[in-house]
Structure 1
Amino acid sequence: MNKKILIITYYWPPAGGPGVQRWLKFTKYLPEFGYEPHVYIPENPSYPILDQSLVKEINPKVKIIKKPIWEPYQLAEKITKKNKDFKAGQFETSKKLGLLSRLSVFIRGNFFIPDARKFWIKPSIAFLTDYIKEHKIDILITTGPPHSMHLIGLGLKQICKENLKWIADFRDPWTKISYYSQLKLTHKSDKKHKELEKKVMQTADVVISTSYTDKENFEKLGAKNVVCITNGFDSEVNILNKKTLKFTLSYVGMLETLRNPVNLWNVLSELISQNPEFASHFCLKFVGKISNSILDELNHSIIKDKMVNIGYLSHTESINEMNNSDLLLITNFNNEQSKGIIPGKLFEYLATGKGILSLGPKNADVEKILNETESGKHFTYYDHENLMSFLMNEFEKWKNNLIASPNLKNSKFHRKMLTEDLSNTIFSIFQKKIQN
């Protein structure tokens, strides 16, 4: 008989973007390990990005439960269209925000704690308390952000106590996220966020992080049992071994102002202006939503004529664009606090076998993975000369038709392997429950 698991998530197909991928893929493979996933989602969510292609990836063995949610984003978007970007995770620096946008950020951070989905917490606890008893659910998993999902888990754990084991999965950290300082919090609100975060950490039976640094930080907050299970890639990512028409550097995903790799643009501008051969063969490709300020910057530079901005594509189409590239770009926030961020797209980058160019803080978790898998190179935002040498070396490889080959060192990041790690974590909880 399959063990029953209840997963509470806000993001689920047809939601697009990286947030939906993690549990869509876990639930794809969990039945193979003897688990019956029940997934609780909002009936009428406000998703910033849609990707209908992901709907067909839902495992038919997954039982979906939907309940209505009320969230204030529709009202916020009437105040200013920029609130749609804020909802999608695009944060401009405070200097570039208008008065209405700054007001909206202040209201969001101080009046909607932990986030604007807070109004789903109480009705969800009331409904799921009965659902858990009726369906004899043993394991509860909440995944955030939004971190209000964890508060649903906290409420259910307090009611069901030892009869229910709770796993809190943090796809991103709560108060350690890079844009937390952009929320314009009062002292009282900041204290409230941190109190709730600590309570979740200390109450959950297991806390899952997606990076090694986050694991260390969660342990410092008092989490009693932290397991790191990174994101990964799935079987639909296939290697395409053929030379591209242009030496193509691609960024796939969302790129906001706070992760703008200015030094890279400077290096590329220098190479284009000084090296006619590089200039004639180079292409910079964007696939996804790119900050207007970054596009404006590039459109006023020598890079403009070498740039292709495709816009948002479905998950499958995005993978095709990765394959039709030579180098894949990943950037991080330019601060020490963000070294634990491992963007989900890194693993799909890895699966293609293409070279990866990473920019971010020193000693980042991304750098550790790239070194471990020998899949690319990580640079700080100010490493000008080494970055230029790396790009020229990769360009020479392209000229000489040195095509990427499969990398067996990446296999540990396949979604099925990661689901086995999750299964082992769940199994250990069941064992403790039996022993108690």
Structure 2
Amino acid sequence: MNLLLITFSFPPAGGVGVLRALSLAKYLPESDVRVDVLTARNAPAVGKDLTLLQQVPSGVTVHRTWTLDLPFWLRKSVKKAVTGGQARQKVAPVSQAPTKAGNPLKRAIGNLLLPDPQVGWLPFAFPAAVRIIRARAIDAVVITVPPFSSVKLASRLRRVFPTLPIIVDFRDEWLTTTLDLVSFNNNSKAREVAQKTESDAVHDASAVVLVTEAARRELQSRYPDLSQEKFLWIPNGYDVAPPTPKEASAAKALQQKIVLTYIGTVYGSTAPGSFIEAVRNLPEAIRSRLHLRFIGHVEVPEYREQLLSLGETVELKGFMPQAEALAAIRDTDYLLLITHDKINVAAKFYDYLGGGKPILGAVHPEGDVRRLLEETRAGLWADVDDSQEIGRMLIQAVETSSMWPEPDYERIAAYHRRPISARYAELLKQIVARARTTQKEQIHR
């Protein structure tokens, strides 16, 4: 079958946002799926990662169009102007519209770029998608988001291709958490646009794929009139060799400090305030043994200041190509995970699983991340809003580092991107087969 994969960001753009699309492009051809990728040529990104581009198979055709989106640094500056540079910590109920910002100019700027600044890609992406579908005899389309503005392509393509299988792939659930925690704009107008955009896309899509069961349930609950079979979930994964028990238990060279490494962006859903408070309150004998290493972009100035307030305990490494970031796992004692999100599971969590080092998670106590940590026995967790509980976890990690339970390596291996992509391929083939059967039945009528 011939698949068109639509993704705003794709290598050489770096960051975790490109990894799901990359894994589909990399592994779907092993299941007899020919992949065309449509992406933005000048998509803003935290950095370039040529090692990711080298993973794209030669048989994958990548089509690149322009976008009117702002450069990464300028978009961050505009977002800071709209939000006032304030960190977002709490999530408002979906039914409760946030209070409008007081500054009319800020509201006007924010409302111009709805549902997100990447909406400037659509005038280029839509005609390109139509052309590719016709020229390449495309059997199915997968649109992976965020940016959430890309889901508008589902409805636009549906008007041109009434019977074409179109799958919307939500890497993050939108309205319940992401809109409040990390979006460019979350005022009442932004929420109204987001709700309509999501509704149109869900109704016009042939299927909707989420990356967690919790996200699938949450989205399905908003559309009780639609068939449950339309809402599916296929998790994210990692793309390094699964650790063996021998490798994972290999003794680390003795050193003075115990290293905790955090990989990924620090932003609304990963706000580090409670973790930083926990570190500050540690007994000096414990804190002096810790070295906190943050690899990735720190989006909010307030978070950077909080982290730097820890002095020599913390090291901010900034953005690194994926291969270098994953290589840093080898000389770390623990992998640090921080998330306030109850529904979504960050892509880096799966890279942590593949890294084979124990995870220390400051997480939502009712979230899917907690469930996965317990299911895989990959580490410890504490309530992300309870600094005392986080502190106890850190003390336990420092004092009993050699007394960890054996991880469930079989469960961890199941999250490799190759078997997950094979599962995705089977799903695509089923959707295409159903569409073809329906078309034949309509012809015979």
Please state which band the TM-score falls in when normalised by the shorter chain: 0.7 to 0.9
Distance 2:405 2:325 in 1: 20
- Which moves more between the two structures, 187-196 or 347-356? 187-196
Question: Which residue in 2 is equivalent to 1:253?
Answer: 264
Task: Give the match's secondary structure for 2:282.
Answer: helix
Q: 1:149 to 1:382 in 2, by over 3 A?
A: closer
Contiguous gaps of at least 5 residues in structure 2: 90-100, 439-445
Task: Give the match's secondary structure for 1:178.
Answer: helix
Question: Which residue in 1 is equivalent to 2:234?
Answer: 229
Question: Which residue in 2 is equivalent to 1:59?
Answer: 57
2:292 pairs with one of 265, 284, 289: 284
- CA-CA distance at 1:296 after TM superposition: 2.0
- CA-CA distance at 1:76 after TM superposition: 9.0
Q: 1:258 to 1:220 in 2, by over 3 A?
A: closer
Compute the RMSD of aligned alpha carbons: 3.1
Considering Cα pairs closer than 8 Å and 6+ residues apart, tell me whether 1 or 2 has the greater RCO. 2
Task: Give the match's secondary structure for 1:249.
Answer: strand
Contact 2:49 2:321 in 1 (8 A): yes
The Cα offsets for residues 235-263 of structure 1, whole Å up to 9 and x where unpaired, read as: 35765734152211111111125633333
- CA-CA distance at 1:125 after TM superposition: 2.6
Q: Is residue 428 of structure 2 the alignment partner of residue 421 of structure 1?
A: no
Q: 1:376 to 1:203 in 2, by over 3 A?
A: same
- CA-CA distance at 1:93 after TM superposition: 2.6
Distance 1:324 1:360 in 2: 24
Question: Which residue in 2 is equivalent to 1:329?
Answer: 336
TM-score between both structures, scaled by the size of structure 2: 0.84
- CA-CA distance at 1:310 after TM superposition: 2.0
Question: Which residue in 2 is equivalent to 1:267?
Answer: 278
Distance 2:361 2:102 in 1: 31
Task: Give the match's secondary structure for 2:34.
Answer: strand
Task: Give the match's secondary structure for 1:15.
Answer: coil
Question: Which residue in 2 is equivalent to 1:296?
Answer: 305
Question: Which residue in 1 is equivalent to 2:206?
Answer: 205
- Which moves more between the two structures, 307-316 or 121-130? 121-130
Distance 1:91 1:425 in 2: 42
The Cα offsets for residues 82-126 of structure 1, whole Å up to 9 and x where unpaired, read as: 237799x9974379xxxx997786345412222223233244333
Contact 2:378 2:408 in 1 (8 A): no
TM-score between both structures, scaled by the size of structure 1: 0.85
Task: Give the match's secondary structure for 1:342.
Answer: coil
Q: Is residue 161 of structure 2 the alignment partner of residue 152 of structure 1?
A: no
Q: Is residue 364 of structure 2 the alignment partner of residue 361 of structure 1?
A: yes
The Cα offsets for residues 51-87 of structure 1, whole Å up to 9 and x where unpaired, read as: 222111111111111222223x25992xx86237799
Write the letter of the residue equivalent to 2:409.
N
Contact 1:358 1:378 in 2 (8 A): yes
Contact 1:201 1:221 in 2 (8 A): no
1:16 pairs with one of 14, 17, 21: 14
Distance 2:84 2:259 in 1: 25
Indicate the percent of aligned positions where both proteins have the same amino acid. 21
The Cα offsets for residues 280-315 of structure 1, whole Å up to 9 and x where unpaired, read as: 432111111224323322433xx3122222222111
Distance 2:109 2:277 in 1: 36
Contact 2:376 2:408 in 1 (8 A): no
Contact 1:108 1:183 in 2 (8 A): no
- CA-CA distance at 1:432 after TM superposition: 0.7
- CA-CA distance at 1:391 after TM superposition: 2.2
Question: Which residue in 2 is equivalent to 1:69?
Answer: 67
- CA-CA distance at 1:185 after TM superposition: 5.3
Write the letter of the residue equivalent to 1:372.
E
Distance 1:82 1:298 in 2: 21
The Cα offsets for residues 116-157 of structure 1, whole Å up to 9 and x where unpaired, read as: 232332443333323312221110111111122221232112
Question: Which residue in 1 is equivalent to 2:77?
Answer: 82
- Which moves more between the two structures, 30-39 or 258-267? 258-267
Distance 1:90 1:51 in 2: 31
Q: Residues 10-409 of structure 1 correspond to what in structure 2 (within 5 A)? A: 10-71=8-69, 73-74=70-71, 77=74, 82-83=77-78, 92-93=86-87, 106-107=107-108, 109-162=110-163, 164-180=164-180, 187-222=188-223, 224=227, 225-235=230-240, 241-244=250-253, 245=255, 246-256=257-267, 259-273=270-284, 276=285, 278-290=286-298, 291-300=300-309, 303-333=310-340, 338-398=341-401, 400=402, 407-409=409-411
Contact 2:238 2:354 in 1 (8 A): yes
Contiguous gaps of at least 5 residues in structure 1: none
Q: 1:202 to 1:237 in 2, by over 3 A?
A: same
- CA-CA distance at 1:189 after TM superposition: 4.6
Distance 1:344 1:45 in 2: 20
Contact 2:88 2:268 in 1 (8 A): no
- CA-CA distance at 1:403 after TM superposition: 11
Contact 1:142 1:167 in 2 (8 A): yes
The Cα offsets for residues 320-354 of structure 1, whole Å up to 9 and x where unpaired, read as: 11222111111113xxxx30110100001111221
Contact 2:264 2:295 in 1 (8 A): yes
Write the letter of the residue equivalent to 1:82.
S
Q: 1:196 to 1:297 in 2, by over 3 A?
A: closer
Write the letter of the residue equivalent to 1:7.
L
Contact 2:335 2:358 in 1 (8 A): yes
Distance 2:22 2:106 in 1: 30
Distance 1:190 1:263 in 2: 28
Contact 1:257 1:293 in 2 (8 A): no
- Which moves more between the two structures, 376-385 or 403-412? 403-412
